[in-house]
Amino acid sequence: MKLSLLRGPASGLALAVATTVLAQPLLAAPAGAATGDPAPAPARTGTGWLATQLTDGIIVNSGYDDVGMTMDIGLTMDEVGGDQALVRQIRSAVSSRVQSYAAPSATERYAGSLAKSLVFAQASGANPRDFGGLDLVAETEARVLASGPSAGRLQDLSEYGDYSNTFGQALAARGLSAAGSPRAQAVTDFLLEQQCSSGYFRIFFTGSPDAEAQSCVEGAGDSGTDTDATAFAVSQLAAISPRPAKVDAAIERAAAWLVANQRADGSFIGSAFTPDPNANSTGLAASALATTGRCTQAGKAAEWVAARQVGPQPSGSVLAGEEGAIAYSDEMLARAQDEGITDGIRPTWWRTSVQAVAGLSHLLGSVAALKVTSTGTEPGQAVTLTATGAQTGERFCLTGPGIAGTRSVAVASDGTLRANVTLPAAAGPATYTLTGRDGAVTHTVAVRSASAPTSGAASVAGVRLVGPSGFREAGSKATLDVLGAAAGARFVLRGPGVADVTVVAGSDGALTRSVALPQATTTATYVLVGSDGQVGDQVRVLGRKKLKVSALAAKGPRERILVRGLAARERVRLLVRGTVLANGRADRKGRFVTRVALPAGARKVRLKAVGQFPALRSGTTTVTR
């Protein structure tokens, strides 16, 4: 089991599990509550067992309140989709103990514990600026070195020394980014320095923060390979939105390292100190792999973890009542089957389960009874693939035309899997594959147009149809260009508002057509039909929308504002009486969060948000101070 030195709430120094599971309620997440997809039954059973281990919302570990592990359980339940009322109970229990856990005195401030508390407060819906009497944003910022070779590095304030490491650094990168902190970039940059040339992240920083070199050096004693640190860093970095290109590149390199180090049976070892496969490392890796689109590899890792989970027990079994608990290893599971989960080893089961159970969200289902159907055959059409015959929460890996890599899709609570895909713009067979734990099923759509092309149409080989990039206003005009056509070539243009119009290239091969875009928000698909198929392009159209603007709980002079209802990557501005206070782009869920300093003096301020096209897309709120 991966342990590292963190601050203990009862003693000055204690050995505690360094990792926590990924939860992304206000950020991007791969599964569970964040996506609305139900989790597979083993994941739900696992969080159910963890819930039974709480006493009034807290884990009592060897006589003391284990606040850090309790936060981990709350984050796990939020990710998997557990009882939100219980998450609120955990939040209440933790809030009264967070100071003793993370900041017990003016001279004792523990960076990793503060960063974990910050992420937990954000994920559980608490005000991170005032949680248990702490401004967790400011407290975490205060633990960040501001200058020198270690700028951005977390550092404990403690008479016992500094035990900051990559786990806490990753949490701080996520939490401070979500808070809009000016320290977030430096913290993230220092975290990226801990990535080694092979792609993995090391656990421990360079011994002295004053040393000129602060990066990983493969082969050095403080830079050993580590699955847990790598998987955890990937999951936390993936929760940052929007992400710079260098962060995406780091995530991709780390994911590739994980894939290369996964064993044939799906398992992972931890490090040189934990050289045998274990559920901690494998569960964390499953979540990280799923986050990066490695659906098949994540499913294999989840299946390995599931085989170490306590299943249904007969009456009188020594494991009766322990259903859902996850064993660290085969040896630990065998011991528990003989002796039960005794008090002496129960904390180890807690730590294993809390780190591994989210990985079970990515269990793949059986394809044996899957029946797949689809709607529509028109080239470029958005259609729905529907599959029945699987269990609620089971996942499958979807590949096919227009899908980058592998997409993870889940069976909804009604027992039906639905996946939206866009058919190719050219006519012909389009084959989609759903892969499960026991094989794969395919479904082929015969892509063809409902009407034949005009007689005498030219070949579309080597021809492209190019529409405008970015967003366009609903109802406006857009220009479509045909490139690569021969002089005098004839085609049929088809799309929204265009009813099989014959178009002819000029003597120089040039062909441009203006079209009126739809009046509502949509992705408009246009196709050029020739004698041997079709080519096409899409135009993103934004129509009228009333944006929802909210002032979130915040402490200090800057207000935290949330704008919802935007399109992914849509430009947005916040204004007061025409003055721009903030601008940016929406995340992939259509939300924009920022902090703004409102004009001084007024008790009520009317704040306006405008989207890409202000005349069509705006919203207001009144902030009372």
Return all residues near 427 (Cβ < 8 A) that are at least 6 apart. 379, 447, 448, 449, 533, 534
Run of H or E residues at 446: strand 439-447
Tell me the mean pLDDT in the region 299-317.
Answer: 96
358 and 381 belong to one structural domain: no
Domain range for 397 is 371-447
pLDDT, tens digit, 9 for 90 and up, residues 52-90: 999 999 999 999 999 999 999 999 998 888 678 889 999
Tokens representing 452 are 């034949």
Q: What's the whole-number average pLDDT of the chain?
A: 89
**How many C-beta atoms lie closer than 10 Å to residue 414's C-beta?**
9
Residue 454 lies in a domain: no
| Residue 98: HSE in the Cβ half-sphere, 13 Å Cα cutoff | 28
Residue that terminates a domain, selected from 380, 415, 447: 447
CA distance 356 to 286: 9
Given a contact cutoff of 8 angstroms between Cβ atoms, the answer to whether 36 and 26 are in contact is no
pLDDT, tens digit, 9 for 90 and up, residues 525-536: 888 888 877 888
CA distance 294 to 281: 16
Tell me the mean pLDDT in the region 502-526.
Answer: 89
Tell me the mean pLDDT in the region 193-205.
Answer: 97
pLDDT-derived band at 28 (thresholds 50, 70, 90) equals very low
267 and 375 belong to one structural domain: no
Tell me the whole-structure pTM to 2 decimals: 0.71
Q: Please provide the DSSP assignment of 283-307 as one string.
A: HHHHHHHHHTT-HHHHHHHHHHHHT
Task: Write the CATH number for 578.
Answer: 2.60.40.2470
Choose from 37-51, 182-196, 516-530 the range with maximum mean pLDDT: 182-196
191 and 260 belong to one structural domain: yes
pLDDT of residue 83: 75
Q: Which of 55-59, 557-561, 564-568 has the lowest mean pLDDT?
A: 557-561
pLDDT-derived band at 1 (thresholds 50, 70, 90) equals very low
pLDDT of residue 29: 37
CA distance 278 to 119: 26
582 and 556 belong to one structural domain: yes
Residue 459 lies in a domain: no
Given a contact cutoff of 8 angstroms between Cβ atoms, the answer to whether 51 and 199 are in contact is no
335 and 186 belong to one structural domain: yes
- Rounded (10°) angle between helices 346-356 and 279-291: 10
- CA angle 407-409-410, nearest 5°? 160
pLDDT of residue 186: 97
pLDDT-derived band at 454 (thresholds 50, 70, 90) equals low
Instruction: Decide: residue 616, CB within 10 A, 0-12 exposed, 13-18 middle, 19+ buried.
Output: middle
Residue that terminates a domain, selected from 447, 478, 498: 447
Residue 455 lies in a domain: no
pLDDT of residue 480: 95
pLDDT at 25 over 90: no
Overall number of domains in the chain: 4
Task: Write the CATH number for 282.
Answer: 1.50.10.10
Residue 434 lies in a domain: yes
Residue 108 lies in a domain: yes
48 and 132 belong to one structural domain: yes
Cα separations in angstroms, 138 against 131, 169, 183 = 12, 15, 10
Instruction: Decide: residue 49, CB within 10 A, 0-12 exposed, 13-18 middle, 19+ buried.
Output: buried
pLDDT at 450 over 80: no
Q: Which of 161-165, 457-461, 471-475 has the lowest mean pLDDT?
A: 457-461
pLDDT at 30 over 50: no
Where do the H-state alpha helices sit in 464-530?
A: none
pLDDT, tens digit, 9 for 90 and up, residues 573-614: 999 988 899 999 998 778 999 988 888 878 889 999 999 999
pLDDT of residue 35: 47
Tell me the mean pLDDT in the region 416-434.
Answer: 89
pLDDT of residue 547: 94
CA-CA-CA-CA torsion for 447, 449, 453, 457, nearest 10 degrees?
A: -30
- Tally the residues of the chain: 625
pLDDT-derived band at 336 (thresholds 50, 70, 90) equals very high
Residue 452 lies in a domain: no
pLDDT of residue 380: 83
CA distance 289 to 282: 10
pLDDT at 514 over 60: yes
Given a contact cutoff of 8 angstroms between Cβ atoms, the answer to whether 517 and 524 are in contact is yes
253 and 378 belong to one structural domain: no
pLDDT at 247 over 90: yes
Q: Which of 24-33, 43-52, 78-87, 89-98 has the lowest mean pLDDT?
A: 24-33
504 and 429 belong to one structural domain: no
Residue that terminates a domain, selected from 362, 394, 426: 362
Residue 346 lies in a domain: yes
CA distance 70 to 94: 8
388 and 495 belong to one structural domain: no
pLDDT-above-70 percentage for the chain:
92
Given a contact cutoff of 8 angstroms between Cβ atoms, the answer to whether 82 and 88 are in contact is no
176 and 236 belong to one structural domain: yes
Task: Write the CATH number for 434.
Answer: 2.60.40.10
Tell me the mean pLDDT in the region 137-156.
Answer: 97
120 and 172 belong to one structural domain: yes
CA-based nearest residue to 443, from 463, 429, 457: 429
Strand order of the β-sheet with 371-374 is 371-374, 382-388, 417-422
pLDDT at 296 over 50: yes
pLDDT of residue 409: 94
Residue 256 lies in a domain: yes
pLDDT of residue 175: 97
CA distance 371 to 385: 10
504 and 618 belong to one structural domain: no
pLDDT of residue 538: 87
Residues 204, 205, 208, 212, CA torsion sign:
positive
pLDDT-derived band at 555 (thresholds 50, 70, 90) equals low
Return all residues near 269 (Cβ < 8 A) that are at least 6 apart. 227, 263, 275, 276, 277, 278, 281
Tokens representing 280 are 């901690």
CA distance 561 to 621: 10
pLDDT-above-90 percentage for the chain:
70
